[in-house]
Chain A
Amino acid sequence: MKEKLKTFIFSELIYHEDPASFGDDADLLEAGLDSLGIMRLIMFAEKEFGVTLPDTEIEPDNVNSLNALEKWIKQAGAGQ
């Protein structure tokens, strides 16, 4: 899941000179992920992983690193 998210983020949403070196806990918001990027990321994740991410959980804390994203998406899908 993390690899799919990472590929999508760095090919579609933000430019980074060396995505391979971008750590799983590194700050995506600081790297340039903005509101439009978050919306596209959520659309991608809901479709790709078959989950519904609740409106009230869209918070900077849940999207600011690859690890946070993975944890959040897995939790959202856990009850299905």
Chain B
Amino acid sequence: MLLKPFLHQCRQQPEAVALVESDRYLSYGDLLARAQSVAAGLQALGVQPGQPVAVHLDRGIDVVIAIFGALLAGACYVPLDLKNPKPRLAFIVRDAKVHAVLGLGDAPAGLDASLWLDINACSEATPKPVELPADSMAAILYTSGSTGQPRGVALSHGAVASFALWAADLVALQDNDRIASSTPFFFDLSTFDLYAVLGRGASLYFVPSALILSPSRLSAWLKEQAISGWYTVPSLLAFLAYKGNLAQTPLESLRFLLFAGEVFPTPALIDLAAKLPRTALYNFFGPTETNVCCYWPVERERLVADENIPIGLPAVGCEFHIDAVTGELWVRGSSLASGYWNQGRLLPFLNEEGWYPTGDRVSLVDGECRFHGRLGRMLKCSGYRVEPAEIEAAVNAMAGVRDCAVVGIDDPAAGQRPALALVLESPATPAEIRTALFRQLPSYMQPSRCVALEELPRLPNGKLDYNQVRTLLEAQQ
């Protein structure tokens, strides 16, 4: 079970600090006691091993208590992004077929109150022990789906545990490490914080959210807390390098930085590498379906401003196969997700030999992988995965829309931004459609540009001409 290394730490060093959130902290022993109470509370509600449980909490100590509680009950956790508009959240809760929702206080409107469990209302108790096979589900992480709806990626205990073990070994995590945590738990990056860091007896420090907006205060905090490692997204590190006052704030304790989720623009990475000369930097790569399948320990002397960095070498013992015709990367290995979660059922996505086609176009140069973009239509917007089909499905369902197409426009800071071409029936207007969309989809899925057309451009074979749509939208500026 995924929590085995954490439980070992609880026995070895119950007094050691596990979690720090501003002036609140929790020791390993106290975290375990709180999580056990939640687990017993879930069992009292009738939750059985293998059943999904949603976590309706934002960030910080309480979320870890809830997630570990769910896992100790043998349940599989579904972390919700509370910034999602209500209809999208409601869809996820319905689709996952959750058997309980963990939160604080009273159940929010629109949620079935009979499923709600306030983690602070769980009195001290020891849950009944559960036995779980390694292929039982540990987490379902919802991302944007090419089917037009959010789609859950189901990760097994074995898959997350093998990533955590590999990552902890890579950076040689020790119990005296102080690791910063800023990633919401619905992102796969968070599995490092939860299972690698707490599995090795280190302390997890939640980055106060106001600091994300003030890079010089962030660097001062990293220094004061003597943070030794951090797994985050490139855009935050680029902001830290650009305006973090690092020349006056040397981060001597910072041993390593890991980053993933989007391409790190090389000039910003060169800047960061120069300002943190003694910090080891690692790029992690992989769609949520693989957690991390590829990594590159940054070799500073090889960074060239106008060249993207390699995605590098197979991670977590993955095997690679590159399709000779399409250049698509196929991956096989122990960290791969088990499948998509759809209406309470697992739909496996590996082929008979256990291979997963990533949809990423890569090439192999001197034993290292290089990334050349996506084969499908998926976009990466501010680190979030966005499927144009999900935006199109939402738009097409609106009154007055005859047709629409969503494409990605390159953006120097956000990677890509969605852009929308519309064919409307009077009296609908693009502004109305965008306003309605704002209530249904999260902000990173909002089109940055919009154009209304008489007809969508088509290729001679009748298929939609996405290149022409993109050209029309790029000309909008």
Chain A residues with CB under 8 Å of chain B are 11-12, 14-15, 17, 29, 32, 34-36, 38-40, 42-43, 53, 55-56, 58-60, 63
Contacts and interface: CB of A to CB of B under 8 A. Distances in A.
A32 B443 contact: yes
Contacts of A53: 243
Contact of A42 (B243, B431, B434): B243
B242 A12 contact: no
Nearest to B477: A11
A45 to B, nearest CB: 12
Contacts of B214: 58-60
B414 interface: yes
Interface in B376-429: 382, 412-414
B312 interface: no
Contact of B235 (A17, A36, A58): A36
Given A36-B382, A42-B243, A17 B435 contact: yes
A58 B443 CA distance: 23
B263 to A, nearest CB: 14
The listed residue with most B CB atoms (<10 A of its CB), out of A32, A58, A59, A63, is A58
Nearest to B246: A55
Nearest to B249: A55
B438 interface: yes
A51 to B, nearest CB: 13
Contact of A17 (B239, B412, B438, B448): B438
Contact of B245 (A14, A42, A56): A56
Given A39-B238, A39-B239, A40-B413, A58 B438 contact: no
A11 B446 CA distance: 12
A59 B443 contact: no
Contacts of A11: 477
B210 A60 contact: yes
B216 interface: yes
Contacts of B382: 34, 36
Nearest to A40: B413
B130 interface: no
Contacts of B435: 17
A12 B412 CA distance: 11
B316 to A, nearest CB: 29
Given A17-B431, A56-B245, A59-B217, A35 B438 contact: no
Main secondary structure of the interface of A (DSSP, over half): helix
B215 A58 contact: yes
Given A15-B438, A17-B438, A55 B243 contact: yes
Nearest to A60: B213
26 contacts: A14-B443, A15-B434, A15-B438, A15-B446, A17-B431, A17-B434, A34-B212, A34-B213, A34-B382, A35-B213, A35-B236, A35-B239, A36-B239, A39-B243, A39-B413, A43-B242, A53-B243, A55-B244, A56-B245, A58-B213, A58-B214, A58-B216, A58-B243, A59-B213, A59-B217, A60-B210
A55 B446 contact: no
Contacts of A15: 434, 438, 443, 446, 448
A38 B382 CA distance: 13
A11 B447 CA distance: 11
A15 B214 CA distance: 22
A53 B242 CA distance: 11
A35 B235 CA distance: 8
Nearest to B235: A36
Contacts of B448: 12, 15
B379 to A, nearest CB: 15
B245 A63 contact: no
Interface string B224-241: 000000000001101100
Nearest to B215: A58
A53 to B, nearest CB: 8
B235 A56 contact: no
A41 B217 CA distance: 18
A14 B417 CA distance: 12
Contacts of A17: 431, 434-435, 438
Contacts of B217: 59
Interface string B444-477: 0010100000000000000000000000000001
A58 B236 CA distance: 14
A48 B332 CA distance: 49
A15 B445 CA distance: 11
Given A15-B443, A17-B431, A36-B413, A63 B213 contact: yes
Nearest to A32: B443
A29 B213 contact: yes
Contacts of B477: 11
